[in-house]
Amino acid sequence: MESISQLLHFFPLIIVTIGSLVVMMVDAFSKDTAKLYYLSVFFLIAALAASISDVFGPAGEAFYGMAVYGGTSAMGGVIVLLGTLFVVLLCKEYLTAIKHHVGEVYSLILFCTVGMLVLVTANDLVTLFLGVETMSIALYVLAGLIKRDKAGAEAALKYFLLGAFATGFFLYGIALLYGAAGSTQLTAIAEVTDGGLIYWGGLAMLLVGIFFKISAVPFHMWTPDVYQGAPTLITAYMATASKAAVIVALIILLGRAFPDIHSDWAEVFQVIAVLTMILGNVIALVQDNMKRMLAYSSIAHVGYIMVGLVAGTAAGYSGVMYYLFAYTIMNVGAFGVVAYYERQKGLDFTNMENYGGLGYKQPMFGVAMSIFMFSLAGIPPFAGFIGKYQVFAAAVYEGYIGLVLVGVITSVIGVYYYIRVLVYLYMREPESDTVFQQPGMVYKTAILVLAIMTIYFGIQPGALSEIFTQGFEQLQIMAATGR
């Protein structure tokens, strides 16, 4: 009976699960894909509402320690659902325009979201594994959504092959940790702090599996290819919600299973973070394809996020949460605008060379794109700056000055390629006189809301970052009392 009452804490997950099944069944018996769209939006909004109310609810462990709820998990759920909701909202118009408005997209996205929601609640390596795989398998299919597109199929294949390869390491890590600790529960693993080769090897493999999913260098190689080849809004989904989910899971993992060996894993994270920040930013400098540029930029952002993880304090983790939140809204926005340009006929509007003067064709999209770019570049007062500031400040406070130095310098390099987009948008003559089709009401509103959120949470981040900090503290109290 106890387990059943604990289900109450997992409403978002239950709603999305039911939603995904409903959408799949409706898809099987109905030709009307628009219906699926409305259903998905409905379920996602319901789940988001439930998840927001969970943020203010209690926190604890459930199902014999397999899962945690409330606190960081609930916030992770909010970020994931927010990203998913906006992607789905934009999806319909985009997929219709590229003539691929097929029903399975919605059920796949919802399945994938189920995996993400499992991830953010994972308190056991088994749950973690299931979450990661549920999410990934759905993403493999989504990446290859456009079957006849060579690039799309290639993206799916690369993602799949490398993903399966990384899963091997991930699972091996889980097996070894299980052998070293005698349990797969995170709190039980925390009691072991040195189990010899099996323990350290297990930790290394586990981290490799996670680094692959968040595309940290040198596990990032799939990212640019897959992001470029996949349909743009699916890329947005992969870049935001899936990364956010894995990183939230990583926070819970590090905070609950490895708090006492912080100095050991922090060393790994430092080196990987430096590599990620440098490589991501430097290669992004020379990219002409917008989606590829944003892919490298997302790699660079993971580097900044890892700086916050290195700090290993409540301030660092809550900074990372804030970063994920900001990153999700601004990146969905940026991809949304790219998707809008991309669907115009005439030129290849994923190529930056063809962006000349586009800022004037749809003024609202131009301004929104500028906001997203400034925010991604980390310029105040946009949300991206607050996130970056918080993770860096947390790291400096813990004495990682060299690391932050690299972060600040590479983000200066990063400004170049974001500003370059604006230069094309506003300071070049148009390449063609293509008449742009008007975006739909929903599309326009969604982009507008994302832009406003990017500004609002840059000016008024107080309440949100306080919630994030409290959330992590709840998690720590739980770890300390061993509940």
Partner 1 sequence: MIALDWYLALSAILFTIGVIGVLTRKNAIVIFMCAELMLNAVNLSLVSFSAHLGDVHGQILVFFSLCVAAAEAAVGLAIIIAIFRNNLSVDITRINLLRW
Partner 2 sequence: MAELIPFIIGIPLLGFLINGLLGLAFPAWREQKLLIGIIANLSVFVPFLMTLSIFMGMTGQSDPTVVTLWTWMEAGDFSADIAYRIDQLSILMALIVTGVGSLIHLYSIGYMGHDEGYWKYFAYLNLFIFAMMNLVMADNLLLLFLGWEGVGLCSYLLIGFWYSDMAKSIAAKKAFLYNRVGDAAFLIAMYLTFSHVGSLSFGEIFASLDQIPQTTVFWIGFLLLIGATGKSAQIPLFVWLPDAMAGPTAVSALIHAATMVTAGIYLISRMSEMYVLSPEVMLLVAVIGGLTAIVAATIALTQHDIKSVLAYSTVSQLGFMFLALGSGAFIAALFHVLTHAFFKACLFLGSGSVIHTMEHVEHKLHDEGKQVHYDPQDMRNMGGLKKYMPSTYWTFLISTLAIAGIPPLSGFFSKDEILVMTFNAGTVAEYGAVYYGLWGIGIITAFLTAFYMFRLTFSTFHGEFKLEKNVAGAEGAEKHLHESPKTMTLPLWILAALAVVGGFVGIPNFVASTFAGTDVSVNQMHIWLGGSIADFDLVLSKAVEWALLSGAVLIAALGIFFAYRLYGNAEVEEADKLVSARTRPLYSTWSDKYKVDEIYEGGIVNPLVKFSNGLYVFDMRVIDGLVNLVGGTMKLTGSLLRYIQTGVAGNYAFALVLGVILVFYLLLF
Q: Is 170 in the site for partner 2 (CB under 8 A)?
A: no
Among partner 1, partner 2, none, what does residue 175 contact (CB within 5–8 Å per kind)? partner 1
When asked if residue 409 is in the footprint of partner 2 (CB under 8 A), the reply is yes
Look up residue 345 and give its DSSP letter.
S
Distance CA 65, CA 43 (A): 27
The contacts of residue 383 (CB under 8 Å, 6+ apart) are 325, 326, 329, 330, 375, 453, 454, 455, 456, 457, 458, 461
Q: Which are the contacts of 361, defined by CB distance < 8 A and separation ≥ 6?
A: 430, 436
User: Nearest distance from residue 95's CB to partner 2, in Å?
Assistant: 27
Q: Does residue number 198 form part of the binding site for partner 2 (CB under 8 A)?
A: no
Rule CB under 8 A: which residues touch partner 1?
125-126, 129-130, 133, 137, 140-141, 144, 147-151, 153-158, 160-161, 164-165, 167-169, 171-172, 174-176, 178-179, 182-184, 198, 224-225, 228-229
Both structure tokens of 407: 């972060």
Q: Which of 380, 436, 442, 455 binds partner 2 (CB under 8 A)?
A: 380
By CB under 8 A, the residues from 5 to 44 that bind partner 2 are: none
* Residue closer to partner 2 (CB basis): 48 or 467: 467
Q: Which is nearer to partner 1, 106 or 365 (CB)?
A: 106
144 binds, options partner 1, partner 2, none, Cβ within 5 to 8 A by partner type? partner 1
- 89 DSSP assignment: H
**Partner in contact with 151, chosen from partner 2, partner 1, none, beta carbon below 5 to 8 Å by kind:** partner 1
Q: Which does 172 bind (CB under 5 to 8 A by kind): partner 1, partner 2, none?
A: partner 1
For residue 351, the partner it binds in partner 1, partner 2, none, with Cβ less than 5 to 8 A by kind, is none
Report CA-CA distances (Å) from 67 to 53, 124, 187, 470: 18, 7, 11, 19
**What would the two tokens of residue 366 be?**
């131009």
Task: Check residue 158 for interaction with partner 2 (CB under 8 A).
Answer: yes
Please identify which residue in 205, 299, 332, 376 interacts with partner 2, judged by CB under 8 A: 205
Q: Residue 200, interface with partner 2 (CB under 8 A)? A: yes
CB-based contact 299:217 (threshold 8 Å): yes
Name the residue with tokens 């370059």: 420
- Answer with the entry of partner 2, partner 1, none that 183 interacts with (C-beta below 5 to 8 A by kind): partner 1
φ/ψ (deg, to 5) at 63: 50, 55
Closer to partner 2 by CB, 43 or 457: give it. Answer: 457
Nearer residue to partner 1 within complex by CB, 221 or 427? 221
Residue 211 CB partners (closer than 8 Å, separation 6+): 219, 272
Residues in region 235-274 near partner 2 by CB under 8 A? 264-265, 267-268, 271-272
If one asks whether residue 299 binds partner 2 (CB under 8 A), the answer comes out as no
Structure tokens belonging to residue 149? 């597109």
405 binds, among partner 1, partner 2, none (CB under 5 to 8 A by kind): partner 2
Q: Which residues contact 74 (CB under 8 A, 6 or more apart)?
A: 51, 54, 55, 57, 59, 471
Specify the stretch interacting with partner 2 by CB under 8 A; choose among 68-76, 104-112, 297-305, 459-467.
459-467
- The answer to whether residue 350 forms part of the interface with partner 2 (CB under 8 A) is no
- The distance of closest approach from Cβ of residue 120 to partner 2 in the complex, given in angstroms and rounded to an integer, is 20
Collect all residues with Cβ–Cβ distance below 8 Å to 412 and sequence separation of at least 6: none
Complete DSSP assignment for 407-467: HHHHHHHHHHHHHHHHHHHHHS--S--PPPPPPPHHHHHHHHHHHHHHHHHHH--HHHHHH
For partner 2, which stretch binds (CB under 8 A), given 7-15, 70-78, 330-338, 399-407?
A: 399-407
Nearer to partner 2, 88 or 203 (CB): 203
The residues in 63-102 that bind partner 2, with binding defined as CB under 8 A, are none
Q: Which is nearer to partner 2, 56 or 397 (CB)?
A: 397
Pick one of partner 2, partner 1, none as the site partner of residue 64 (Cβ within 5 to 8 A by kind).
none
Nearer to partner 2, 46 or 379 (CB): 379
Q: Which string of x and - marks every residue 356-375 that binds partner 2 (by CB under 8 A)?
A: -------xx--x------x-
How far is it, in rounded angstroms, from Cα 179 to Cα 171?
12
Question: How many CB atoms neighbour CB 96 within 10 A?
Answer: 15
Residue 469 touching partner 2 (CB under 8 A): yes
Return the structure tokens found at 324. Answer: 């994920």
SS3 assignment, position 124: strand
393 touches, from partner 2, partner 1, none (C-beta below 5 to 8 Å by class) = partner 2
The dihedral over CA atoms of 140, 209, 408, 356, expressed in degrees to the nearest 10, equals -10
Nearest to 415 by CA among 467, 452, 449, 380: 380
Peptide bond into 218 cis (omega under 30): yes
Q: Which one of 49-57, 179-187, 326-334, 395-403 is the stretch in contact with partner 2 (CB under 8 A)?
A: 395-403
